[in-house]
Amino acid sequence: MKRDIVIHEVGLRDGLQMEHRTVPIETKVAWAGELMQAGVDILQIGSFVHPEKVPQMRDTDELFRHFAAAYPHRRTVLAGLVLNEKGLERGLACGVDMFCMGVSASETHSRKNTGMGVDEAVGRITAMARTAQEAGKKVQVSVQSAFGCGYEGAVSPARVTDIVAKYLEAGFGNVSLADTAGHATPGQVEELFGAIRDMDARAELTCHFHNTYGLAMANTWAALGAGVKYVESSVAGLGGCPFTRIAGGNLCTEDFVHMLQRMDLRLDLDLATLIGTARSVAAFFERDLPGAVYRTGPIAEPRPAS
């Protein structure tokens, strides 16, 4: 198991996009600051979408401008999701470090999520990714509904690898597979990430698992075993795609970090701060959230003296 696991926190984007109660920008700034303090490597703080479709994201531009100005020498990479050229234009204007963009392997989900069919989306995304790279930005390209679709059911692995092949041919080696519907099993995860590793051993692989059916942690562990380095997770387990049939939360950040630290991995991350943020999020929404460790507290184990 590699020790250089990278945490990509998506709670402020994927986590909040399903929430009907609007989070004030001051609260988002406080949560984001705590997540950066905790040491997350990548922080996805919003998506550049139409405010009428996803009202929770209407202050994304302002958030990026705030953090770009307040933390000019930040270690944490600030990431944003874009779906179209207008979103990319907005992101380039307000200080995004890394652009996340992708295509669904499901025709139905693609049209509900972006209004485009898969083939059109692939062409537009690769052109957008090239524009972002030429502007000196990091780019992560993804395949959503990579392990199944809430509308269409099973998704052929060949459909996923065909999209990934187009990404790789276009020169984009940071590739994410997203289990949007939460249908993945560990065996599928090992097989599909293994197939991509065979396509290009230099590719930097990211996993994004929803916990709709309780398998996010198991699937993430399988992904790490298959050579994945980047893990997308959400504080308190918040999350879900508003354009899938059954939305489920994400892999929970503090639960995942708790597991890693019990295995002497990523001891640099401040678990107590992550737990505190999760508790703050739960208090704001006035309900229990999917995460476990923020409610139970971590297992405190004495470490041998060095």
What is the pLDDT tens value at each position of the chain, 306 positions in all?
Answer: 555 899 999 999 999 988 989 999 999 999 999 999 999 999 999 999 988 888 999 999 999 999 999 988 899 999 999 999 999 999 999 999 999 999 988 776 657 666 667 777 789 999 999 999 999 999 999 999 999 887 778 889 999 999 999 999 999 999 999 998 899 999 999 999 999 999 999 999 999 999 999 999 999 999 999 999 999 999 999 975 544 444 558 999 999 999 999 999 999 999 999 999 999 999 999 999 999 999 999 998 655 544
Any domain includes 306: no
Instruction: List phi, psi (to 5°) of 221.
Output: -60, -40
pTM of the prediction? 0.93
Any domain includes 303: no
Any domain includes 185: yes
271-285 and 253-262 helices, crossing angle to 10° = 160
Any domain includes 302: no
Instruction: List phi, psi (to 5°) of 228.
Output: -75, 140
Any domain includes 280: yes
Instruction: List phi, psi (to 5°) of 219.
Output: -70, -35
- Separation of alpha carbons 306 and 226, rounded Å: 32
Q: Which residues are catalytic?
A: 241
Number of structural domains in the chain: 1
Q: What is the DSSP letter of 292?
A: S
CATH number, domain of 214, equals 3.20.20.70
Q: 14 near 239, Cβ under 8 Å?
A: yes
Which domain range does residue 120 map to?
A: 6-296
H-type alpha helices, 11-106: 25-38, 60-70, 85-93
249 residue type, one letter: G
